[in-house]
Chain A
Amino acid sequence: MLKLEELHIGYNDGKRKPMRKLFETEDITFYPGDFVAVIGPNGSGKTTLFNTILSEQAAIAGQILYKDSEWSTISRDEKVKIISFVPSKFNGVDNLTVYDLIAMGRAPYTNILNQLTVHDHSVVEKVVAQLGLQEFVHNNTLKLSDGERQIAMIGKALAQETSVMILDEPTAFLDYNNRRKVLRLLQEIAIENNQLIFISSHDLELCFEYCNRVVAIDSKAQKLIDFNAPFDKNGIINSVF
């Protein structure tokens, strides 16, 4: 569904300097239902890869294909219905309830005054049920625990009803129990909703346990290496770190 074709990923640290290449990919195709972990040392380019897929920054070379059409030709309004994003930390906003937060995911579909239709409300209700957030629905997002807030943010991305979902280090600020809970939830979502989910993470053990694919950034060779489950843990770790 989503195909990276010899994509060269990098960034520039100043306007006048040339782009600095971090790594390049061969042709890699991701399918609906894949739960993919992107791993690699700090600074290897996990976030840069996500930003490139999210069109927040340009690739140096190569292209991304979505269902055989070139990603860069799809308009922004269409893209936000295809791909959703969850940042690694959201601190909560006073007076913003979990329900309202999840409803924000409907924004690409609502009118200019952001009014929700009956259908939008039913999507939000469905997401709440799927994530088991019923008892928190009317809670203030400022007063949730980090784990609950992260799950509510995943709810926002689910309400966006996209086929691809990207989470930047979703477990970085969570305790061990919540890490497992969030990853198990994402695994279920990938299968149940047939969504393609990307996460970046430093919790290698947990990624090997829950994800069905791992792509590792090898900074020395400047390559992105694709692994499928079952994983050869030591082999992957030795080749990347």
Chain B
Amino acid sequence: MQTISKTYWRRSGLLFIVLLLLVLFDLTLGSFTISYKDIYNGLFNYNPDSTGEVTMRVFRFPRVITAVLAGAALSISGLLMQTLFQNPLAGPYVLGINSGASLLVALGTMSSFQLVGSDVGLVASAMVGAFGAGLFILFSSLYVKNKVSLLLIGIMFGSFSGALVNVVQAYADPNNLKTFMLWSFGSLQGVEYSQLGVLSLVVVKGIVISILLVKPLNLLLLGDKSASLLGINVKRVRLLVILATAILTGAVTAFCGPIAFVGLVVPNMIKLIYKTTNHYHLMIGSVLGGALLIVICDIAMQMLMPFLNLPLNALTALIGAPVVMWIIMRKF
């Protein structure tokens, strides 16, 4: 068994090295190329007079770190949802948890209620929205036993809150409307250096809660009753899972917009690569795999930039939708 555990670490190590290399490569990309020397200086030996170092610090570094954090957070949320609902197609986007966050962000940014004045307010309202949507789905899951029906409820909830967002949009100030539309395309550029602290703190918190849930998640695979008879407080675990998902999805949605499909695709890929049900390794894999996927998306966007301005959400959907179809054909 010790040897098997080693193979998981080896896979994680490999993912980590690839991620690190791509992160470095991604840092050089943008409207002009930055040398690796400027990247190093921009981080550790900052000189505000050098254009390369300023660009690195103000634009590149926040963008790439946001990519890593967003990918990690969304993938873990997806893994949590898939285990909680025992459904390979579950994810924060499909179940309407992103939509709940979007709804409150839309209300906050476009309506006359000034709910949110600061970043913290924005993040908090997105989390409240995500938590509300999560509770709604959890409540529905107690009545709807069919896996596909639950997904349909999530999609309907998404449409419903989408409609409410449309109503808000119809009355919104054109400037706010434009900001909101750009946000809803999904973007990694909206996070400033000073905001990185808030985002990473929240994401790390969410990941820590998730890792503390490893044991209950492993046992939930046997079903609620068996898990409960192995000493798991199933009700409490369900709430904590929804809470962790709300924190992770809410934070990312507030800063980067509703990014689709990452939470659904990455955990499925990781399960395919790791071939285990141990959530300890699946979580490490999802963090690395999610970060990797969004960094790759960012690299693709930066390289295509001269020819075509591709929004992040379009790119993730281009990758994600075929994967979903493939999972449906394979498992349903």
The complex places the Cα of A109 from the Cα of B211 at a distance, in Å, of 18
Known contacts: A90-B222, A96-B221, A104-B222. The answer to whether A112 contacts B229 by CB under 8 A is no
Instruction: Report chain A residues within 8 Å CB of B223.
Output: 87, 90
Chain A contact residue count (CB 8 A cutoff): 28
Chain B contact residue count (CB 8 A cutoff): 25
B230–A113 touching, CB < 8 Å? no
B277–A107 touching, CB < 8 Å? no
The complex places the Cα of A76 from the Cα of B211 at a distance, in Å, of 23
The complex places the Cα of A51 from the Cα of B169 at a distance, in Å, of 53
B278–A100 touching, CB < 8 Å? yes
Q: In whole Å, how far is A88's beta carbon from the nearest beta carbon of chain B?
A: 11
Q: In whole Å, how far is A15's beta carbon from the nearest beta carbon of chain B?
A: 14
Q: In whole Å, how far is A79's beta carbon from the nearest beta carbon of chain B?
A: 8
B215–A110 touching, CB < 8 Å? yes
A114–B230 touching, CB < 8 Å? no
Instruction: Report chain B residues within 8 Å CB of A112.
Output: 212, 214-215
Question: Does B117 make an interface contact (CB < 8 A)?
Answer: no
Q: In whole Å, how far is B275's beta carbon from the nearest beta carbon of chain A?
A: 5
A105–B221 touching, CB < 8 Å? no
Interchain pairs with CB closer than 8 A, number: 67
Question: Does B51 make an interface contact (CB < 8 A)?
Answer: no
Q: What 1/0 mask marks residues of chain B from 177 to 214 whose CB sits below 8 Å from any chain A CB?
A: 00000000000000000000000000000000001101
Q: In whole Å, how far is B100's beta carbon from the nearest beta carbon of chain A?
A: 29
Q: In whole Å, how far is A99's beta carbon from the nearest beta carbon of chain B?
A: 7
Partner of B229, one of A80, A94, A95, A116: A80
For A168, the closest partner residue in chain B by CB is: B225
B280–A56 touching, CB < 8 Å? no
For A80, the closest partner residue in chain B by CB is: B231
Partner of B230, one of A96, A100, A108, A121: A108
A residues 59-109 near B (Cβ < 8 Å) are 76-77, 80, 83-85, 87, 90, 93-96, 99-100, 104-105, 107-108
Please list the residues of chain B having a beta carbon within 8 angstroms of any beta carbon in chain A. 1, 211-212, 214-215, 218-219, 221-223, 225-226, 228-233, 271, 274-278, 280
